[in-house]
């Protein structure tokens, strides 16, 4: 997610003691935050640009409706947000009215989210509203996808095409890395996200997009030869075309290496494009972006990273929260997000807007990838997805460390997922949770 300074916002300063307790809750305590005023509360990302856009849209809604809204920035560690939300949404007193939701949290939080009445406007977005047991529980706010960033100047210097297969990427990265070293300009070939987290799950599933350990029907696959090959290949990258420390990288670590001019290729999300082309970036004007490589024919190349908005069931202001939710996901708000922050609209009509295409010049390049997104097994596993993700990330990390043979690691992964599936009754989850692919 992008970063930029935030704009000002109005806050009605009442119930100071109650909101002091809310601050303690955000710091990790079990305190509850009683809602004693009519002020709505919105939780947004702490990242600069996104927080700024959230403030801007909220300010516009306040001016239109006369209501007041308090914007609270979430912790920067995205891994702490789901437990925080569970605590907030289960509190005796309502403490929030609109929440930003990663797509991987929606199934887990669905029982705590308010029903969003369907409207004719639902067909205007892709993906459509997130449905659980036939209930609309979240609306798409903006889209995202894993992409390949590359040094266009270096590919041109060595007369090499943008790789479309993973083996091609490894060969190209090796050639340029060696050639630049000979020139006295050491660079790494490829940086990505290897930290034990959701980011690693995304990377691993992108390496072999046609072979997800959990099928679309919720079945755990017992044979994963494609994923095994992909993990073995990625393990070989470490210390050759990728830094040894890549196993501790998140998105910002990878961006720091690439944006400083010390990598040829990078896997990251859309936000990195604007930052890498900022005036103070050493690689500004020297980079390109493309769909991620893939091996299997017609396999998706990038993982879907759509971000949603939802309303807690325990909101004290359901009507006002619904009004604010619809405004934040409106064509007006999404258009401003695209023009001011480079966020990809969920509203399909905006993808052909001339101003937006000018503001997001990579849109034409990544449109094919947006039409063929890889999906994590969120819908199939429902409330168990956080556990599924944790199991996958740890097993993928073991395989990349080469502490165990990849086949042995994947056998353990399959066993763990099958055991969790039996406990979690995924068959029931699969019949009641709907996640429409973009």
Give the least confident one: 26-40, 288-302, 338-352, 368-382.
Answer: 26-40
Q: Which of 135, 47, 22 is nearest to 342 (CA)?
A: 47
Helix (H, G, I), strand (E, B) or coil at 315: coil
Q: Is 436:128 a contact under the CB 8 Å cutoff?
A: yes
Please state the rounded mean pLDDT for residues 24-53. 66
Going by their DSSP bridges, the two strands 287-291 and 147-151 should be labelled as antiparallel
CA torsion, ordered 90, 96, 100, 105, to nearest 10 deg: 0
Percentage of the chain beyond pLDDT 70 is 87
Residue 201, classed as helix, strand or coil, is: helix
* 84 neighbors 29 (Cβ within 8 angstroms): no
Contact 232, 166 (CB under 8 A): no
Please compute the mean of the pLDDT values over residues 423-437 and round it to a whole number: 52
Residues with Cβ < 8 Å from 152, sequence gap 6 or more?
Answer: 286, 287, 288
Tell me the C-alpha distance between 302 and 373, whole Å. 6
Structure confidence at residue 31 (pLDDT): 42
Greater model confidence, 433 or 218 = 218
Say yes or no to pLDDT of 433 above 80.
no
Pairwise pLDDT comparison (332 vs 366), residue with the higher score: 332
pLDDT confidence of residue 134: 85
**pLDDT given for residue 131 in this prediction:** 87
In the prediction, which pLDDT does 380 show? 82
Percentage of residues of the chain with pLDDT beyond 90: 68
Q: Does residue 218 come out as left (phi exceeding 0), alpha (psi in the -120 to 50 range) or beta?
A: left
Burial of 269 (0-12, 13-18, 19+ CB in 10 A): buried
| Main-chain phi, psi angles of 160, to 5 degrees | -120, 145
Look at residue 326 in the predicted model and tell me its pLDDT: 97
- pLDDT at position 194: 97
Q: pLDDT value at position 403?
A: 66
pLDDT at 289 over 50: yes
Say what the pLDDT of residue 17 is: 36
pLDDT at 294: 87
Residue 342 to residue 410: CA distance in whole angstroms: 38
Q: Helices 331-341 and 318-328 sit at what angle, rounded to 10 degrees? A: 50
Q: 129's torsion region: left (phi>0), alpha (psi -120 to 50) or beta?
A: beta
Count CB neighbours of 150 within 10 A.
26
Residue 174 buriedness (CB in 10 A; 0-12 / 13-18 / 19+): middle
Distance CA 230, CA 228 (A): 5
Paired strand residues for 273: none
Contact of 4 with 52, CB cutoff 8 Å: yes
CA dihedral 14, 326, 360, 146 (to 10 degrees): 90
pLDDT 10s digits, 160-210? 999 999 999 999 999 999 999 999 999 999 999 999 999 999 999 999 876
Q: What integer pLDDT is reported at residue 7 of this predicted model?
A: 30
Residue 430 has pLDDT above 70, yes or no: no
pLDDT in tens, 102-158: 999 998 899 999 999 999 999 999 889 998 888 999 999 999 999 999 999 999 999
Whether pLDDT at 10 is above 60: no
Q: Who contacts 410 (Cβ-Cβ below 8 Å, separation ≥6)? A: 213, 224, 227, 228, 231, 395, 399
The pLDDT tens digits of the residues spanning 306-334 come to 999 999 999 999 999 999 999 999 999 99
The CA distance from 276 to 363, in Å, is 16
- Between CA 239 and CA 252 the distance in angstroms is 20
pLDDT of 216 reads: 85
**Average pLDDT of the chain to the nearest whole number:** 86
Say if CB 388 and CB 417 are below 8 A apart.
Answer: yes
pLDDT at 425: 64
Residue 213: the pLDDT is 94
Please tell me the least confidently modeled range out of 35-44, 79-88, 290-299, 332-341.
Answer: 35-44
Q: List the domains of the chain with CATH numbers.
A: 16-144+305-373 (3.40.190.10), 147-303 (3.40.190.10)
């Amino acid at each position: 997610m992008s970063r930029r300074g935030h704009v000002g916002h109005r806050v009605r300063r009442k119930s100071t003691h109650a909101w002091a307790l809310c601050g303690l809750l955000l710091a990790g305590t079990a305190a509850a935050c009683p809602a004693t005023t009519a002020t709505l509360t919105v939780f947004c990302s702490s990242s600069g640009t996104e927080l700024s856009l959230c403030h801007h849209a909220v300010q516009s809604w306040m001016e239109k409706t006369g209501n007041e809204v308090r914007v609270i920035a979430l912790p920067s560690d995205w891994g702490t947000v789901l437990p925080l939300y569970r605590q907030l949404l289960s509190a005796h007193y309502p403490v929030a009215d609109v929440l930003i939701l990663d797509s991987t949290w929606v199934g887990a939080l669905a029982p705590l989210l308010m029903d969003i009445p369907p409207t004719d406007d639902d067909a205007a977005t892709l993906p459509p509203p997130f449905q659980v047991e036939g209930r609309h529980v979240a609306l798409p706010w903006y889209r995202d996808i894993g992409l390949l960033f590359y040094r266009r100047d270096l590919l041109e210097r060595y007369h090499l095409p943008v790789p479309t297969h993973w083996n091609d990427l490894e060969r190209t990265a090796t050639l340029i890395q060696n050639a630049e070293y000979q020139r006295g300009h050491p660079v790494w070939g490829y940086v990505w996200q290897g930290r034990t987290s959701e980011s690693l799950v995304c990377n691993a599933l992108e390496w072999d997009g046609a072979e997800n350990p959990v099928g679309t029907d919720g079945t755990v696959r017992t044979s994963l030869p494609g994923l095994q090959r992909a993990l073995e290949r990625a393990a070989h990258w470490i210390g050759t075309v990728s830094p040894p420390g890549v196993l501790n990288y998140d998105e910002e670590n990878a961006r720091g290496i690439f944006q400083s001019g010390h990598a040829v290729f990078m896997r990251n999300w859309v936000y990195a494009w604007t930052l890498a082309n900022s005036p103070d970036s050493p690689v500004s004007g020297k980079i390109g972006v493309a769909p991620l490589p893939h091996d299997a024919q017609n396999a998706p190349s990038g993982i879907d990273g759509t971000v949603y908005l939802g309303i807690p069931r325990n909101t004290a202001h359901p009507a006002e929260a619904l009004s604010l939710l619809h405004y934040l996901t409106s064509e007006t708000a999404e258009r401003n997000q695209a023009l001011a922050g480079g966020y990809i609209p969920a509203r399909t009509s905006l993808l052909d807007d001339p101003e937006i295409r000018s503001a997001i010049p990579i849109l034409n390049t990544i449109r094919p990838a947006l039409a063929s997104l890889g999906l994590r097994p969120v819908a199939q596993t429902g409330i168990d997805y956080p556990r599924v993700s944790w199991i996958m990330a740890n097993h993928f990390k073991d395989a990349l460390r080469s502490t165990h043979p990849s086949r042995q690691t994947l056998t353990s992964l399959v066993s763990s997922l099958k055991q969790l599936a039996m406990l979690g009754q995924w068959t029931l989850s699969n019949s009641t949770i709907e996640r429409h692919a973009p």
